[in-house]
Amino acid sequence: MKQAIILAAGEGSRLRPFTVNKPKAMIHIASKPIIQYVIESLAVNGIRDILLIVGYKREQVFDYIGDGRQFGVGVKYLTQDKQLGTAHALMQARGLTMDEFLVLPGDKLIAPETLTQIIQAKPTSILVKHEDHPSRYGVVFLDKGRLTGIYEKPSYPLSNLVNTGIYVCSSDIFDDIESRLDIPDVINATLDKGKSVSIIETDQTWLDVVYPWDILSLNSIILRKIPAGTSGFVEPGVYLKGNVYIGKGTIIHSGTYISGPVVIGEGCEIGPHVCILSATSIASNVVIAPFTEVNNSVISDDIHIGSGSIIHDTVIDRGCVIGGNFCVSSEETEIKVDSEYYTVKVGAMIGEACSIKNNVIALPGTIIGNNCQVRPLKVINGRLPDKSLVV
C-alpha cells in the first residue's frame, strides 16, 4: 500500500463554536490538529503519497499541512466544493489513484498501529471496531463472520461493531459509486450484487470527536501517550509530577505545581504560583498569570488568562483574553445540541477571540461563541451566540 486518500472536507457542525472558523480535521487535541495525527500514522506505515480532499474552510488545512514535507509525506489537494457525502468526496480523486489505495477520514484520531493490519489487506476491505455508543456511527452487521450491511446511525443499534471509515479500495470503486453519495451506500450496493467485502477488526486507537466536550476526553487519552521532556526554562521552586512536556521558549516560574500528564507548547509564560493539574494541554504563546488553577482543560494558542482564575473541564479556543478571577466550575449538567439533550460533566466551551473581563463566573455547561465580549462581574450560563456582548 503506497497511496492514501484522506477525506477532510467536512465541517462538524455539532462541534460549534469550535468549527465555525475551521474544519473538524483542524480541531486540536493535545496541541496538534487531528489531521496531523492521521498523516503521521500514514508516514509511520510507509504511505507517503497522499491525496487530501478538502472543502469547508480549506485554507486552514493548506496553511498548516502545506505540501506535507514537514511530516515526511507528499500531499496533493483536491476540493469537494459541496459536502454531499464521503463517496462524492472520493470521486474527486478519480483518475489520480493507483490500482489499490487506502481511504480514511481526516477527522478521526488514528494511531499508526490501527492501520498496520488493514494496509496488508486486499480490496475491498473495511476496518471495524467495537464502540460503546454505536448509534453515532455506521453499524456493521455480520452473518457468520461475513458482512451483510452497514446501517448509518440507527436509533436502536443491534450491534456495537462500527465502521471506522477506513477502507482498502481498488480503482473499480469509482464505477460502483455512480450517483451514490456515501461510501457505506456503495458498499451495500456491492454486497447486493453478491460480491464479498472483507472485514478487519481492530482494538487499537480510533477516536472520534462529535461534541465539544469530546475534545476533553480525547485530549486525556492522547496525553497519556506523550513522554515527558522540556525544551523550556523551569525556574527553581517548580514542582513537576508525572509526565510533563514543556516546549521551546516556555518559562515556568517558581512556585508552580504541574501534575501530568500535561503538555505545554512553545513560547508560554506560566506563573509564578500556578497549579496545572492532569489531562491539561496548553498550546503556544499562552500566558497564565499567578495563583490560577487549571484542571483537565484544553487551552489553545495565543491566550491570556488573568490571575486568581479557576478553570476546570474547559476548552478555550485561540486568541482569547481572560481577566482575573475567572471561575469555571464543573459538574454534571444538561446541554442541548441541535434538538437533542445530553447530560455531561463539563465546565465551559469558549470560542475564538473572546474577551472576558475580571470577576466573571461561567456556570457548568456554558457555551460561549466566537468573538464574544463579557463585561466584569457577570455570571453567564447557557449558550452565547457568536459576537455576543454581555453588559
Note whether 386 and 372 are within 8 A (CB): yes
Looking at the 3D structure of the chain, how many domains does it have?
2
Q: 179-191 burial, b if ≥16 CB within 10 A, otherwise e?
A: ebebbbbbbbebb
Selection from 80-89, 148-157, 199-208, 286-295 with the highest mean pLDDT: 286-295
Q: Are residues 152 and 82 in the same domain?
A: yes
Q: What is the pLDDT of residue 325?
A: 96
Q: pLDDT of 214-223, one tens digit each?
A: 999 999 999 9
CA atoms of 345 and 148, how far apart (whole Å): 38
- Residue pair 107/8 in contact by the 8 Å Cβ criterion: yes
The mean pLDDT of 270-281, rounded to a whole number, is: 96
- The model's confidence at residue 160, banded by pLDDT at 50, 70 and 90, is confident
Same domain, yes or no: 26 and 127: yes
Segment 74-84 mean pLDDT: 91
For the cut 80, the answer to whether the pLDDT of residue 145 exceeds it is no
Examine residue 217 and state whether it is found in any structural domain, yes or no: no
Please report the pLDDT score of residue 50 as a whole number. Answer: 96
Q: Between the CA of residue 82 and those of 11, 33, 35, 312, 385, what are the distances in Å?
A: 11, 23, 20, 38, 25
Q: How confident is the model at residue 70 (pLDDT cuts 50, 70, 90)?
A: very high
Within 8 A by CB and 6+ apart from 289, the residues are: 274, 304, 305, 306, 307, 308, 309, 324
pLDDT the model gives residue 226: 87
Q: Domain check: are 131 and 270 in the same one?
A: no
- Domain assignment present for residue 357? The answer is yes
Residue range 60-85: average pLDDT? 92
What's 34's domain CATH number? 3.90.550.10
* Same domain flag for 287 and 342: yes
pLDDT for the residue numbered 208: 87
Domain check: are 302 and 258 in the same one? yes
Do the Cβ atoms of 265 and 284 come closer than 8 Å? yes
Q: What is the pLDDT of residues 359-379, one digit of tens each?
A: 999 999 999 999 999 999 999
CATH of the domain at 360: 2.160.10.10
The pLDDT mean for the chain works out to 92
pLDDT at 136: 79
- 165 and 288 together in one domain: no
Query: Who has greater pLDDT, 336 or 301?
Result: 301
Residue 191 confidence (pLDDT): 86
Is residue 236 pLDDT above 90, yes or no?
yes
Do 278 and 190 reside in the same domain of the chain? no
Sorting pLDDT into bands at 50, 70 and 90, what band is 329? confident
The residue out of 183, 210, 237 marking a domain boundary is 210
Give the residue from 210, 231, 262 where a domain finishes: 210
pLDDT of 129 above 80: yes
**Global pTM?**
0.90
Alpha carbon distance 259, 355 (integer Å)? 28
User: 301 with 253, same domain?
Assistant: yes
**Angle subtended by helix axes 34-44 and 58-65, to nearest 10:** 50
Do both 241 and 173 map to the same domain?
no
Assigned domain for 185 exists: yes
pLDDT tops 80 at residue 338: no
> Is the confidence at residue 126, as pLDDT, over 90?
yes
Same domain, residue pair 195 and 227: no
Question: Residue 210: its pLDDT value, please?
Answer: 86
What's the domain range around 320? 222-390
Asked whether residue 293 carries a pLDDT value surpassing 80, the answer given is yes
One-character DSSP codes across 122-173 = PSSEEEEEE-S-GGGSEEEEEETTEEEEEEES-SS-S--EEEEEEEEEETTH
Give the residue from 229, 249, 282, 248 showing the smallest Cα distance to 28.
282
Question: What was the pLDDT predicted at 148?
Answer: 84
pLDDT of residue 49: 95
pLDDT value of position 31: 85
What pLDDT is attached to residue 133?
81
**Confidence check: pLDDT of 18 > 90:** yes
CA dist 377 and 391 (Å) reads: 9
**Which whole number is the average pLDDT over 302-315?**
97
Residue 251 and residue 289 in one domain? yes
pLDDT band at 24 (very low <50, low <70, confident <90, very high): very high
DSSP string computed for 195-256: ---EEEE--S-EEE--STTHHHHHHHHHHTTSPPEESSEE-TT-EEESSEEE-TT-EE-TT-
- Please write the tens of the pLDDT for every residue from 174-225: 888 888 899 999 998 888 888 888 899 898 888 888 889 999 999 999 998 8
Q: 200 with 229, same domain? A: no
